[in-house]
């Protein structure tokens, strides 16, 4: 069954309002969750709604008040998010960074003590279509699922990095974890009884496996760094970079052992007009994009695809024809509608 964007958007807002969120926070959270599904990031879309509702009901996601600015300069800002809805906090941080970038060329906002921020790719298109570059990264100081390269003890989270890049056409949307896969992908594969796409988990005996159930054994397998058993030292280094940009710059993280689902977030907006200018930026990025698309493909049936191209086509198709939710997502959504007495 397909669901219209308007129906999901309205119903999700109603659910979140019944959990105590005001209209602004509910609207932001609903829109970005659904954007994740629109772009095909289904483990980080409405699939998260039941967990968000549980956090709201238990008080682990705060509902009242606003964030606190701890340190601010013309082009930088540190925010304490007080575990308010992470999606709303990120959108507020992006707006602030845009204002800084238009005045100073770039603007950087770091959020500490945010709640979960869902799909990073879901924030990118809106900014990139304003001819601005958005760089977004996050870590979860309470989550330990990735072991450093050469180790078997989990230390850090998958630590995704995303970038929205304007072009003269559709923007480039990059969203990749610094681990071989995301926790949500492992959980979904386990729930469906499927194998992972590769040996992305490391068991305590040092053997890599594609069995997602190993992630839930005792002792649990860890997620390998990006690059796996061969080149995982690169992913480990990149994961360390994300930890620096998020937790270290925020002055709060794993050393504090928060014990609470959340995120530390790095948000940076860059205005190309303050560098080579929009014309110079577009000339170079369009040339590079077209050169990549013109590369002779290994398989003529599968030519080179620009990051975000498939996602934007899927979004357009689903906006027109309706969203097809994962069975688990649909089941959870229907359960919440029933719980809150919504049609």
User: β-pairing, 172-177 with 160-165?
Assistant: antiparallel
Q: Where are the alpha helices (DSSP H) in the chain?
A: 5-18, 23-38, 49-58, 86-104, 124-128, 183-192, 228-243, 249-250, 277-293, 309-321, 327-339
Decide if 188 is inside a domain: yes
pLDDT at 225: 98
Residue 52 lies in a domain: no
Domain of residue 190, CATH code: 3.30.60.50
Q: Give a yes or no: residue 13 inside a domain.
A: no
Q: How many domains, the chain?
A: 1
Percent of the chain with pLDDT over 70: 100
For residue 196, the enclosing domain spans 181-223
Structure tokens of 10? 């309205």
On whether residue 203 sits in a domain, the answer given is yes
Q: What is the pLDDT of residues 228-255, one digit of tens each?
A: 999 999 999 999 999 999 999 999 999 9
Average pLDDT in the chain? 97
The burial of 266, by beta-carbon neighbours within 10 Å (0-12 exposed, 13-18 middle, 19 or more buried), is given as buried
Mean pLDDT of 87-116: 98
pTM above 0.85, yes or no: yes
Confidence of residue 279 (pLDDT cuts 50, 70, 90): very high
Domain annotation covers residue 82 = no
At 178-205, the pLDDT tens digits run 999 999 899 989 988 999 999 999 999 9
Between the alpha carbon of residue 231 and those of residues 214, 235, 238, 277, 341, the distances in Å are 22, 7, 12, 37, 51
Tokens encoding 68 = 């606190």
Confidence grade of residue 63 (pLDDT, cut at 50, 70, 90): very high
Neighbours of 24 (CB within 10 A): 12
Peptide bond into 58 cis (omega under 30): no
Q: Please give the Cα distance from 266 to 5 (Å, whole number).
A: 29
Residue 313 has pLDDT above 90, yes or no: yes
Cβ burial of 104 (10 Å; 0-12, 13-18, 19+) is middle
Q: What is the pLDDT of residues 3-60, one digit of tens each?
A: 999 999 999 999 999 999 999 999 999 999 999 999 999 999 999 999 999 999 999 9
128 domain residue, yes or no: no
High-pLDDT (> 90) share of the chain, % = 98
Closest C-alpha among 166, 175, 167 to residue 269: 166
Confidence of residue 89 (pLDDT cuts 50, 70, 90): very high
- pLDDT, mean of residues 77-106: 98
Residue 305 in domain: no
Name beta bridge partners: 309: none
48 Cβ neighbours under 8 A, 6+ residues apart: 33, 116, 118
pLDDT at 1: 82
CA 67, CA 205: separation in Å to the nearest integer?
Answer: 44
CA distance 105 to 23: 32
Whole-number Å distance between alpha carbons of 132 and 25: 24
CA 81 to chain centre: 17
Instruction: Kindly report, residue by residue over 111-135, the tens digit of the pLDDT.
Output: 999 999 999 999 999 999 999 999 9
């Amino acid at each position: 069954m397909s669901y219209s964007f308007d129906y999901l958007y309205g119903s999700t807002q109603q659910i979140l309002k019944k959990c105590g969120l005001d209209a602004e926070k509910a609207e932001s959270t609903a829109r970005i969750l659904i954007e994740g599904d629109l772009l095909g990031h289904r483990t980080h879309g409405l699939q998260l709604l039941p967990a968000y509702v549980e956090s709201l009901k238990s008080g682990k996601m705060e509902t009242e008040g606003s964030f606190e600015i701890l340190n601010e300069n013309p082009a930088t800002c540190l925010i304490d998010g007080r575990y308010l809805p992470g999606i709303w906090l990120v959108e507020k941080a992006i707006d602030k960074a845009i204002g800084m970038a238009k005045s100073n060329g770039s603007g950087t906002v770091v959020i500490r003590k945010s709640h979960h921020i869902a799909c990073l790719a879901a924030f990118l298109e809106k900014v990139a279509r304003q001819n601005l570059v958005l760089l977004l990264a996050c870590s979860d100081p309470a989550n330990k699922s990735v072991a450093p390269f050469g180790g078997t003890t989990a230390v850090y989270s998958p630590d995704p990095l995303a970038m929205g890049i304007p072009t003269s056409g559709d923007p480039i949307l990059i969203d990749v974890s610094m681990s071989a896969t995301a926790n949500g992908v492992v959980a979904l594969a386990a729930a469906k009884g499927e194998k992972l796409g590769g040996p992305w988990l490391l068991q305590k005996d040092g053997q890599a496996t594609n069995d997602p159930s190993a992630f839930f054994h005792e002792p649990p397998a860890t997620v390998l760094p990006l690059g796996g058993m061969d080149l995982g030292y690169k992913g480990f280094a990149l994961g360390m970079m994300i930890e620096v940009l998020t937790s270290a710059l925020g002055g709060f993280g794993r050393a504090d052992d928060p014990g609470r689902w959340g995120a530390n977030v790095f948000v940076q907006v860059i205005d190309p007009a303050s560098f080579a200018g929009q014309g110079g930026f577009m000339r170079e990025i369009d040339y590079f994009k077209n050169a990549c698309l013109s590369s002779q493909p290994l398989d003529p049936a599968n030519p080179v695809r620009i990051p975000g191209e498939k996602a934007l086509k899927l979004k357009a198709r689903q906006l027109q024809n309706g969203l097809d939710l994962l069975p688990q997502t649909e089941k959870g959504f229907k359960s919440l509608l029933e719980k809150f007495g919504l049609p």
